[in-house]
Chain A
Amino acid sequence: METATERQDAKRAKTEHQAAEGAEPMAVDDAVQQKDAAAPEQQQQTGPSMRFLMTQYYKRLFPVQQMFKWLCYGNAATLRLTAASAAGASCASTLEGDIFVRYQSYKSWTDLATDLARKVPSKIDIGPVYTHDPRQRAKYAKDFKPVQRELVIDIDMTDYDELRTCGSGGHICSRCWPFIAVAIQVLDTALREDFGFQHILWVYSGRRGVHCWVADEGARLLADDVRASVVGYLSVIRGVEGGMAKLGMGMVKHPALERAERLLRSAWRQHLLPEQCLLDEPQHYNALLQYIPDEELRSSLAAKWAKGGQGIVPGGNRRASAAAAAAGDSVSLSVRRWDELEKAVKEQASRLPSGKAAKALEKSLDDIIFAYSYPRLDVEVTKKMNHLLKAPFCVHPKTGKVCVPIDPEAAWDFDPDDVPTVQQLVQEINEQQQDAGASPQQQQAAGAEGWQGTSLEPYIAAFASSFLSPLAASSKAALNERAQAAAAEQRTQRADVSW
């Protein structure tokens, strides 16, 4: 039933759009790699290759209709030439490398579906809505400009490399997830409470980061300089120098940072310290102690911890304390050491004769918490309207993981290792259809969508219910409001004339 109504929506959107301006409603920047003749043979040798799985995924599982509905914003009057780009499908052995095809646009979800099935992109990026159909951009030259773009935020775990103790680069695991989870919490709160945005989608990027899409109309229309100002408002870390983060905040905190601090502090003791074991190993606690301006304090703590830590099991602290944290029955080593540090700093501060120096010393504790846990944004992504960002529900070509939405309320429970992969999904859909005894064609004829019944379903359902539907409702409301306002204006004009 849901499917049927959605299809109607898509159709209506299509016809409305054509009526409104006769241009293409959606543009997807798209990259296709030319199929090489040798590919099928290779597949036979290595079993189901990534390329084969991807073909299956985009043919049978990708939620085309939902994505199309989102990118159209169900609104006929505004331009919705959303551009996306898709890198060439690449099996591991590809020689040509990635080919990008930008500025694609589609009239209907069926067009999009056909093209995806044909091109099997390894990556789909979404760009801005342009003034004109991006495929005819040459015709409009100077007038071809981006006009709408979701406000997007990108957080990448590599920005946390100097902090995390569990791995670096492309690595992500449940132990470094707390950095991401607290970032989602802080940013989501700020976007909702401070900026008043409502339609916010958080997506796991499939590998080592998360993306945020703010789709409120107000957000989509922001000019570049205002986007930059949002970034400025949301960021605190202004770069890293000599292993220390430079913090852009003063002695007194802006209310938004006060609120962030409350969130960070609870995450700090509950998750970051115990799970990251930030104070277990000398190289880690020495890096953290750098933030304490008092030399004497620093060295006395380091000396004390060096003795205490090495005494029991050399090098085995981390496992021991992680286990302790997991068991929940005793306080982890890092948490205990943090409490010691806090106490020592406060005692030292109370001994200092000058109030100012005491304040600076106490502030260093806040600095540590902000430097370690305040969200680190990839700011360039947010600043420019025409920056591309990977679409939700596409597959990360390296990990095979699907970019699934994250519920910001439940960000702490999200496990990046537990998201559906393309291998798993293709297996599921095959088994399901064998059980049902129906061919894929029959299934589709019956109006069912492939992802139904697979482990992708809950994610798509959440996407539809908590993002798409409210968004559609508010675009509709905005449209009605505008229509009423226009009608009212006409009435008053007529009244003027009659006077």
Chain B
Amino acid sequence: MNFINSAPRPVVGGTPTSQASKGPYLELSMYKEVPTGEISLEEFEEYALDRLRVLKAIEEAKLRSKSEDTIQADVETLLKKHMQGSSRQQTYRKDVLSHHILRLAYCRTADLRSWLLAQEALLFKFRFKALGRQQQVEFFSSMGLPYHAISDAEFEELAGQLAAVLNACGEWDKAKAVTSSSRRGDTHGLQDIGRSGGAAAAAVASRPLFYKVPFQAVPDLVGSRRVLLRAGQAYVGEDQVYSLVVGAFRSCLSASLAEAARAWGAFSAAEADRLAPLVDSLPSRSVYGSDNRKVPVGEISAGQLAGLVAGRNFPLCMSVMYERLASEHHLKHWGLQQFTLFLKSIGLPLEQALLFFRQQFAPRTPGDKFNKEYVYSVLYNYGLALNSSYLLLFVVCRTPGDKFNKEYAYNVRYNYGQEGKRQDWSEWSCVKIINQEVGGACAGAGECNGGCPYKTYSAEQLRAALSRLNCNDKVIREVVDKARGKHYQLACGLAFEGITGSPQETGINKPSEYYASSIELATQRAAAAAGANGAGEQQGQQQQQQGQQAGGGAVQPQQQEGPPQTPAGQRAVAAGTPA
């Protein structure tokens, strides 16, 4: 392994603390200069994926319409988790490099460009807002935008109206924060009031700066009536300069992406054997890799599914679907899609999936109808290329080839032709399931189109479904409340607690995470039960060992080599030592 540049470089221009007050802002960059220097391929890939994790998490937070403040806090944690290097310089280097790698990876089509533009602008906005007021203004002036602060005379003239706008925003914020926090029951509202009050107080204490800019430069502020407008000019307050800065960042990045798209041909020709395939694949890579909780390894068989459902290891959406399938022997297209991909993600191999569905559909669906209508769907979800589908179809289902050919081959060819490669469909995330149009609750008629029961079920249905899973009554009430407040994933997490009796702390973003937590808990409990029977001492040792490893990394550097270890991996090593 080659980590050429991982050693910290000498800091140019003094200590980090002196740089914080003036000079280059290591926290934030406009990414105007293309970085030079060397980077290993491993780093190249790791940096890009880490940045994607941050961007995708922000996108998801936006899609779930989390409040600005929540996302602001999320971004801070995300950056700490994924983007922090061993030193400020390293962090800066990773930030700049990963940005430029993604710029390259997302330049080719208009869709990719607009996605990256939107997410990077969001990230930039949150990072800019995290800077102190002083730093914000300095950063803003260092950009040399052609905007000027208004004169004293103009300020005097407009002071009343400017204050009115400030008040209107503050009050509006407050109103919103109060209503949303009373719904959420958290403390963000209070912080908000404190902050807007502070801004207003500062405005009274000394004359604040206002920049006069054409209204086109700050569409977000105009659209939410957060600025004073006069004759086409917007009066942008000091703590609103983020809008101008983000606007400039956006247009700068947009131009760079267009430039990169033009240069892509030359790049991909020159790097055809090395970087181009890697960069090319980045947009379609799954970022939920080693970082997220791994679904327990090992295959499961069709026969085990019933046991897993009975053991209440499936999240509600999937156990509902399983029951539906078992009683009605039917699922509608999207339901089948959602369910198959879930089974696939928890380790049910293709042959077993076909077997399972064949069994479930059998009472109502004649064999050839099953072959015709569902096999394709299952194969598709398992991401099989045309050739292998043929093969499996003959082996497993014995469908005449011409029938398959006639009815599905075109679709398959189309899908794969479009992608140009095997598409390995990943499991639907909760966000996707929640946003899925199901056309009525799944509990309705005998048709099930999937979806998230916390969203589609009525309170009554939800109560009934949860009590069938032996969920604690008190928790059911909370779950129903959460679901009514549209916090479906939180409701699901609560239900986990009610069903298993143990809190789910990591959050549920995909149905398989629920499953993984449930299986993990069951394993732990089984181990604990076994431990209580005589291995308690050994477990104690194990924990001690683990503690040493976590704290003593610097003392024993040779142990830290190799790929970063997940806690689970560490535990495995620790468990192995005493044995």
A interface, CB within 8 angstroms of B: 193-197, 218, 222-223, 225-226, 228-233, 249-258
In the complex, how many residue pairs between chain A and chain B have their CB atoms under 8 Å apart? 72
Q: Which residues of A contact B222 (CB under 8 A)?
A: 226, 229-230, 232-233
User: Bound complex: CA of A195 vs CA of B225, how far in Å?
Assistant: 13
Q: What are 23 residue pairs bridging A and B, where the CB atoms are less than 8 Å apart in the complex?
A: A193-B231, A194-B229, A195-B215, A195-B232, A196-B231, A218-B216, A222-B216, A223-B216, A226-B215, A226-B222, A228-B219, A232-B222, A232-B223, A233-B225, A250-B168, A250-B174, A252-B171, A253-B168, A254-B164, A254-B225, A255-B164, A255-B228, A256-B225
Per-residue contact bits, chain B 159-182, to A (CB 8 Å; 1 contact, 0 not): 001001101101110110000000
Given contacts A195-B215, A233-B222, A255-B228, 4 further A-B contacts (CB under 8 A): A196-B233, A222-B216, A226-B215, A252-B172
Residue of A nearest to B174 (CB): A250
Given A232-B223, A250-B171: A256 and B216 interface contact (C-beta under 8 Å)? no
The distance from the CB of B234 to the nearest CB of chain A, in whole angstroms, is 9
Given A250-B172, A252-B171, A253-B164: A194 and B230 interface contact (C-beta under 8 Å)? yes
On chain B, the number of residues with a Cβ less than 8 Å from chain A's Cβ atoms is 24
Do B223 and A229 touch across chains, with their CB atoms under 8 A apart? Answer: yes
Q: Which residues of A contact B170 (CB under 8 A)?
A: 252
Do B219 and A229 touch across chains, with their CB atoms under 8 A apart? Answer: yes
Interface centre among B224, B225, B231, B233 (most CB of A within 10 A): B225
Q: Which residues of B contact A251 (CB under 8 A)?
A: 171, 175
Q: Which residues of B contact A254 (CB under 8 A)?
A: 164-165, 168, 225
Q: Which residues of A contact B161 (CB under 8 A)?
A: 255
Q: Which residues of A contact B152 (CB under 8 A)?
A: none
Residue of A nearest to B229 (CB): A194
B156 on the interface (CB 8 Å rule)? no
Do B223 and A228 touch across chains, with their CB atoms under 8 A apart? Answer: yes
Given A232-B224, A251-B171: A193 and B219 interface contact (C-beta under 8 Å)? no
B76 on the interface (CB 8 Å rule)? no
Per-residue contact bits, chain B 217-251, to A (CB 8 Å; 1 contact, 0 not): 00110111100111111000000000000000000
Do B164 and A252 touch across chains, with their CB atoms under 8 A apart? Answer: yes
Q: Which residues of B contact A193 (CB under 8 A)?
A: 230-231
Q: Which of A226, A228, A258 is within 8 Å of B164, CB to CB? A: A258
Do B165 and A218 touch across chains, with their CB atoms under 8 A apart? Answer: no
Do B175 and A225 touch across chains, with their CB atoms under 8 A apart? Answer: no
Q: Which of B164, B216, B229, B233 is within 8 Å of A233, CB to CB? A: B229
User: Bound complex: CA of A225 vs CA of B232, how far in Å?
Assistant: 16
User: Bound complex: CA of A287 vs CA of B265, how far in Å?
Assistant: 64
Residue of A nearest to B232 (CB): A196
The distance from the CB of A238 to the nearest CB of chain B, in whole angstroms, is 12
Per-residue contact bits, chain B 8-46, to A (CB 8 Å; 1 contact, 0 not): 000000000000000000000000000000000000000
Q: Which residues of A contact B230 (CB under 8 A)?
A: 193-194, 196
Residue of A nearest to B226 (CB): A254
The distance from the CB of A80 to the nearest CB of chain B, in whole angstroms, is 22
Residue of B nearest to A223 (CB): B216
Q: Which residues of B contact A257 (CB under 8 A)?
A: 168, 225
User: Bound complex: CA of A402 vs CA of B219, how far in Å?
Assistant: 36
User: Bound complex: CA of A484 vs CA of B237, how far in Å?
Assistant: 35
Q: Which residues of A contact B167 (CB under 8 A)?
A: 252
Q: Which residues of A contact B174 (CB under 8 A)?
A: 250
Do B225 and A232 touch across chains, with their CB atoms under 8 A apart? Answer: yes
The distance from the CB of A161 to the nearest CB of chain B, in whole angstroms, is 27
Q: Which of B175, B228, B232 is within 8 Å of A218, CB to CB? A: B232
Do B232 and A226 touch across chains, with their CB atoms under 8 A apart? Answer: no
Q: Which residues of B contact A231 (CB under 8 A)?
A: 223
- A-B pairs, top 5 by smallest CB distance, nearest first, are A232-B223, A196-B232, A229-B223, A250-B172, A229-B219
Q: Which residues of A contact B215 (CB under 8 A)?
A: 195, 226, 229
Residue of A nearest to B176 (CB): A250
Q: Which residues of B contact A197 (CB under 8 A)?
A: 232
The distance from the CB of B7 to the nearest CB of chain A, in whole angstroms, is 45
The distance from the CB of B266 to the nearest CB of chain A, in whole angstroms, is 21
Q: Which of B219, B224, B228, B229 is within 8 Å of A195, CB to CB? A: B229
Q: Which residues of A contact B229 (CB under 8 A)?
A: 194-195, 233, 256
The distance from the CB of B559 to the nearest CB of chain A, in whole angstroms, is 52
Do B225 and A225 touch across chains, with their CB atoms under 8 A apart? Answer: no
Q: Which residues of A contact B223 (CB under 8 A)?
A: 228-233
Residue of B nearest to A232 (CB): B223
Interface centre among A196, A197, A228, A255 (most CB of B within 10 A): A255
User: Bound complex: CA of A252 vs CA of B215, how far in Å?
Assistant: 22
Q: Which residues of A contact B224 (CB under 8 A)?
A: 232
Residue of A nearest to B215 (CB): A195
Interface centre among A222, A228, A252 (most CB of B within 10 A): A252
Q: Which residues of B contact A194 (CB under 8 A)?
A: 229-232
Do A229 and B220 touch across chains, with their CB atoms under 8 A apart? Answer: yes
Q: Which residues of B contact A218 (CB under 8 A)?
A: 216, 232
User: Bound complex: CA of A259 vs CA of B76, how far in Å?
Assistant: 41
Q: Which residues of A contact B220 (CB under 8 A)?
A: 229
The distance from the CB of A373 to the nearest CB of chain B, in whole angstroms, is 18
Residue of A nearest to B162 (CB): A255
Interface centre among B165, B167, B223, B231 (most CB of A within 10 A): B223
User: Bound complex: CA of A230 vs CA of B222, how far in Å?
Assistant: 7
User: Bound complex: CA of A369 vs CA of B216, how far in Å?
Assistant: 30
User: Bound complex: CA of A249 vs CA of B173, how far in Å?
Assistant: 10
The distance from the CB of B281 to the nearest CB of chain A, in whole angstroms, is 25
Residue of A nearest to B217 (CB): A226
Residue of A nearest to B158 (CB): A255
Do A225 and B219 touch across chains, with their CB atoms under 8 A apart? Answer: yes
The distance from the CB of A2 to the nearest CB of chain B, in whole angstroms, is 32
Residue of A nearest to B218 (CB): A229
User: Bound complex: CA of A124 vs CA of B176, how far in Å?
Assistant: 44
Residue of B nearest to A142 (CB): B110
Q: Which of A196, A223, A252 is within 8 Å of B168, CB to CB? A: A252
The distance from the CB of A360 to the nearest CB of chain B, in whole angstroms, is 10
Q: Which residues of B contact A226 (CB under 8 A)?
A: 215-216, 219, 222
User: Bound complex: CA of A257 vs CA of B232, how far in Å?
Assistant: 17
The distance from the CB of B371 to the nearest CB of chain A, in whole angstroms, is 42
Interface centre among A195, A218, A231 (most CB of B within 10 A): A195
The distance from the CB of B227 to the nearest CB of chain A, in whole angstroms, is 9
User: Bound complex: CA of A194 vs CA of B230, how far in Å?
Assistant: 4
The distance from the CB of B65 to the nearest CB of chain A, in whole angstroms, is 15
User: Bound complex: CA of A195 vs CA of B219, how far in Å?
Assistant: 12
User: Bound complex: CA of A256 vs CA of B234, how far in Å?
Assistant: 13
User: Bound complex: CA of A251 vs CA of B164, how far in Å?
Assistant: 11
User: Bound complex: CA of A163 vs CA of B229, how far in Å?
Assistant: 31
Q: Which residues of A contact B164 (CB under 8 A)?
A: 252-255, 258
The distance from the CB of A372 to the nearest CB of chain B, in whole angstroms, is 20
